[in-house]
Structure 1
Amino acid sequence: MNKNLISLAVAAVFAMPVVVSAGTEVYGLAHVSVGFIDNDAEGDAESSSIAMNWNDSNIGFKGSEDLGGGLSAIYQAEVGVDFSGGEGGTGETADGLGKFRNTYLGFSGDWGTAIMGRNETPFRSATAKLDPFDNTVGDFAGVLGVSSSGVRHDVRISNMLAYLSPDIKGFSFQLAYGLDDGAGLDSTSASAQQQLGAMSFAAIYSNGPLYVVGAYQSLFETGAVATGSANADDKATRVGGGYTFGNFTINGLWENVDGGGSDNDHDAYYASGVFAMGSTAFALAYGVADDNGTAADSGASMLSFAAIRSLSKRTKIYLGYTQVEAEKGVLINKNTGSTTVTPSTAYGIDEGLLNPVVSANRNGTASIFMLGVSHKFSSK
């Protein structure tokens, strides 16, 4: 998308209160953190730096129109915004505007919701609830959702047709299909993320304190792009759940990612807990990825913890720490994706203002202390 067109779209969003109908909501998230990063790679001198991250900050508008008979038309347009004020190394435009995010048109009724456009896959959206560090540099994508081909599964896809079922006694499901157009995955990881079609599915049970989810996703022929194996799909499966009792929430997740071909898959595990005490919460998470196939010493692990203080319903501050250790190298920006210089499996911390590679094919550790503030805003 031409950056001038994106600029026009965002300008239109800011002007919305003057011109939109009463049914349109202008909303967004301003989320900025400062990271104090330490890089320690086998055979290299230890280094440290300070960087700022915009953590998927965004602005958008959404709304609906009652068409009668229980049917509504729904719409949403959302774009990423770099509230840190810098371009960084993540592919955003120089004026701080990012890619279009969840942007679609559809219909909704008692039968469910159907949308067309660009959106998070059910595989991503249905399992993100189990990650208390979602949309921070310490999220579970440090070791989850990436195949040995370097293909990431926690993505948005363009040209999506999706159906979300109604909730029936706690049960629901989501199904999405991405059309083959040769482009569109929400990642900068080179040709391996070219969209050649996709299918994503999630089944959910949510009832009071209990949340259970199973999800499957296939990114068609993306494994082939990265590995050279003809017609190889990159596939991922997740099963997990969470339970809240009193002020404490625990979550667990298992994942298998298969990059296509023979002996090219691995399992990963993730557990987290959150303890709330008034307006303060403490979060702890640990994840581990096993060796890939028959490749020895190719796994990784991560640890995250944070203290979060809610200043209001919309504003919070937090102080946290994340460490990722990988046996074949660690990335500081896991979405850089140049497979000629990165480890074969892109484990790491998403911090776009740094050089991406701590080490390739050598043991490496990346750690970060992060201080952040986030504010959700809405015209309603």
Structure 2
Amino acid sequence: MKKTLLSMTIFGLLSATSYNALADSPQIYGRFDMALTHSENGVTTQNQKSGTILENNFSRLGIHGSEAITDNIELLYRAEFEVDSATNEGSSEVFKARSTYLGVKSDLGTLIVGRNDTVMKSSKGTAEAFALTNAAYNRMIAGQDRKADGVTYYSPKIADLVSVNATYLMDDNYEDSDEQQYAVSIVAGDKKMKKQSFYLAAAYNTIGGVDAYRGVAQYKIGNLKLGGLFQNTESQTYNEKEGNSYFFSAVYNLNGVNLKAEIGKDKAGFGKYLKNSTSDYKNATDVDITSLVVGADYRLAKSTLLYTHYARYEGEFRVKNAGPVIDLDEDNIVTVGVRYDF
């Protein structure tokens, strides 16, 4: 009896010690996201293929963690890679770089060096109802960038509400640009709609060959989440290429099923729909593009999400504000997918 009690005590102590060590160890995580998609023209699918295809929606593997350096300073690190299993079509490029950085966190804020989403991109919060799919914002607008060789700063929250953030890209690694490449943002509220029922953001960006400013607003009323984004974008190279873009989204939770709808209007012409539709993309002006997306998702378990959506894109443009109006080919897309997180 004594030996049994002693053994159980030792086992319990070892288990507690192992748990604590594991809790402080680097954490491995990942996502597998595969979808079956049918598209008329393929201009907005992940691999620009028409017909019925498999899409890999940014499946990834990663490792991240932190370690206390002093009582007030914490070291942060992350290495994340996209795993391409559906669209490589024989290519050896199975892995692609995602967010990979080293950083420090203190009472003065968080500073990250490496590859990371720009603060322009992250300013969207969760207003984007169909993120990481063939109906994502970047089908219509610029500014959705993840860049390497950069420094990102996130300030502490002021009054547990407002933070100021910035991204700066090192000049020597972007010599093809005549302008300083940076983005700044100020955000208020909670993008996850838990601490506060609203989220507001304003951002300015010179990264990716465009000058752009953006405003985002989200509000939650019961089971309904409303979101909106406005952006003005101007090319740093082509003086005539600029304009406004708008998105409005609504997500309603009905007994665990998220019913979603989003409409978009683009007058600027920097998105993938236009870029993949015409060789005159750089000279496109008088752009008028409309998108409509409706869909739903349902979480089978904490780790597993089923989703589906229908997206429609249509539009027109001119070349350098001259000549006839050119109609873009419409694209109708139907997607059914599954996402597994671990």
Once residues 70 and 93 of structure 1 are traced to their aligned partners in structure 2, the CA distance between those partners, rounded to angstroms, is: 46
Q: CA contact under 8 A between 1:112 and 1:166: conserved in structure 2? A: yes
- Which moved further from structure 2: 104-113 or 195-204? 195-204
Residue type at the aligned position of 2:168: Y
Could you say if the C-alpha distance between residues 277 and 21 of structure 1 is closer, same or farther in structure 2, counting changes exceeding 3 Å?
A: closer
Q: Does 1:96 align with 2:97?
A: no
Kept in 2, the 8 Å contact 1:31–1:54? The answer is: yes
Identify if the C-alpha distance between structure 1 residues 129 and 328 changes in structure 2 by more than 3 Å, giving closer, same or farther: same
Show the counterpart of 1:154.
144
Q: Partner of 2:137 in structure 1?
A: 140
Q: Does 1:163 align with 2:164?
A: no
Q: CA deviation at 1:21?
A: 8.2
Q: Deviations over 1:290-334 (max 9, x none)?
A: 266x976522111111111110112110111111112149xxxxx
- Tell me if structure 2 keeps the 8 A contact 1:328–1:364: no
User: What is the deviation of 1:51?
Assistant: 1.3
Identity of aligned residues (%): 24
Tell me the amino acid that sits aligned with residue 225 of structure 2. T
Question: C-alpha separation between the residues in 2 aligned to 1:95 and 1:54?
Answer: 14
Query: C-alpha deviations, 1:9-66, integer Å up to 9, x for none?
Result: xxxxxxxxxx98842110111111111111399xxxxx95111111111111000111
Give TM-score, length-normalised by structure 1: 0.71
Report the aligned-residue RMSD: 2.9
Partner of 2:225 in structure 1? 249
User: What is the identity, as a one-letter code, of the residue corresponding to 1:28?
Assistant: G
Partners of 2:268 and 2:151 in 1: CA distance: 35
CA contact (8 A) 2:230 2:245 kept: yes
Gaps of 5+ in 2: 1-20, 44-48, 191-195, 270-282
Cα 1:20–1:79 change in 2 (3 A) is: farther
Residue in structure 1 matched with residue 88 of structure 2 by the alignment: 87
State the structure with bigger RCO (CA 8 A, min sep 6), 1 or 2.
1
* Deviation of 1:96 (Å): 2.0
Select 1:277's aligned residue among 254, 257, 262.
254
The amino acid that maps onto 2:92 is A
Name the SS for the 1:64 alignment partner: strand
Equivalent residue number for residue 337 of structure 2: 372
Give the deviation of 1:80 after TM superposition: 0.7
Change in Cα spacing, 1:93 to 1:120, as seen in structure 2 (3 Å) is: farther
Partner of 2:292: 303
Do the aligned partners of 2:163 and 2:186 also contact (CA within 8 Å) in 1? yes
Q: 1:325 aligns with which of 311, 314, 329?
A: 314
- Correspondence for 1:13: none
- State the distance in 2 between where 1:250 and 1:107 align: 34
TM-score by length of 2: 0.78
| Higher strand content, 1 or 2 | 2
Give the deviation of 1:95 after TM superposition: 4.8
Q: 1:181, 1:197 within 8 Å by CA — same for their partners in 2?
A: no
Distance of 2:64 and 2:285 partners within structure 1: 48
Residues 1:61 and 2:63 are matched in the alignment: yes
Question: Is residue 250–residue 272 contact of structure 1 (8 Å, CA) maintained in 2?
Answer: yes
8 Å contact from structure 1 (residues 238, 255) kept in 2? yes
1:12 aligns to what? none
Number of residue equivalences = 293
Separation of aligned partners in 1, 2:42 and 2:33: 28
Q: Is the CA contact (8 Å cut-off) linking 1:182 and 1:195 kept in structure 2?
A: no
Q: Which amino acid aligns with 2:206?
A: S
Is the 1:309–1:317 Cα contact (8 Å) retained in structure 2? yes
Larger radius of gyration: 2
Q: Secondary structure at the match of 1:123?
A: helix
